[in-house]
Structure 1
Amino acid sequence: MEYLSALNPSGLLRSVSNMSSDLSRKVWTSAPPPQRPFRVCDHKRTIRKGLTAATRQELLDKAEKTLLLSEDLTLVLEEDGTTVDSEDFFQLLEDDTCLMVLESGQSWSPTRSGVLSYGLGREKPKHSKDIARITFDVYKQNPRDLFGSLNVKATFYGLYSMSCDFQGLGPKKVLREFLRWTSKLLQGLGHILLGISSTLRHVLEGAEQWQHRQGRLHAY
């Protein structure tokens, strides 16, 4: 009877289904993630290397050997310092993402685009005094921002300082602003075309009236 029950169609289908699910689960778990390219640098951005890795830990291991770093490393985004602290976050990163590897005690700092002072960076004389020092900082608040933000800081005579921050826009905001300005431009062009049309109509009506008056004068 047990042999006959094993030959039952429902039992056979159930066993085949269990075998296929187990096989697919083994195939799914055994397939490793693909190798992807990344660019890594140290906290001073003096050393940059291109590495390929499939997981976050693999990238940290390769960066430790390539950049000659110690253990207890932290992985952050180079552009804004966001910590890549999980494998799920790492898998969401795009290929060729720029990452910074920090050792214990190190911290992320924004990129300094340059300092303009006394001849655009030339060494000033020893006995000179700064009149104005202007610093430009380019950074991104969000990795998805289309344009970076710009911070301009000016210091006069080493005493008075002022700064201005130009916030960058993401793709959606840029598209929204573009559509808004396009709408205003089209509205302005529409008003101009309506004005030209009205002027031409008045000119044509005036010409017709003048011709009609000339015809009456010739008739008399």
Structure 2
Amino acid sequence: METTSSLFRSVSRRVWSPPQRPFRVCSYDRELKKGITAGTLEELKKKAAQALSISTLLTLVCEEDGTELDSDEFLIALPDNTVFMCLKPGETWKPHPLRQSGNKPGDSKPRTGKDIAQITFDLYRTHPKDMFGSLNVKATYQGLYSVSADFQCMGPKKVLREALRVISTFLHAAGHLLISSATVIRRVIQGADLIEAQNDKRLKFLD
């Protein structure tokens, strides 16, 4: 009975397993970044530890604002390609130096162009077999408003599949064009034969 119950739970887990989604993880100092896919929080922690070669228990926080990721529900609510920082015991999140405000109370240092607008480019790969890397572009204005765009490139299999799909569509359209052209030519020939037959009948009638 226990074996049947465990088998049922295993099958249910496989049937209802969440889909794999792309995420990015980075180390505490933001020097090492990796792209991984996961469907649950536990799977994300496991793959993040393997990607960054971390053997101790780690905590995942959002790299942008330090919000801790502590449930699968919160993970589902986050968009794809969210960047998480992996923290070891004793480490705490710190904001990116370039994202910190340039002016503080009592600071008379004038604002520069870097304090007003900032654009960052992040090149990464979600899979080792990807032919080209994906590009994430993020623009920040005055440290308050930010807009990001993610350009994902496909692997060799997807590129080949898309190329074959385009070729198939082109050949399909060319086939329709040839069939239409053949139909028009056949009708023209039939019309010419009909006109010639009518002319022959008129000549015979006049004779």
Pick the TM interval, shorter chain. Answer: 0.3 to 0.5
Larger Rg: 1
- TM-score normalised by L of structure 1: 0.42
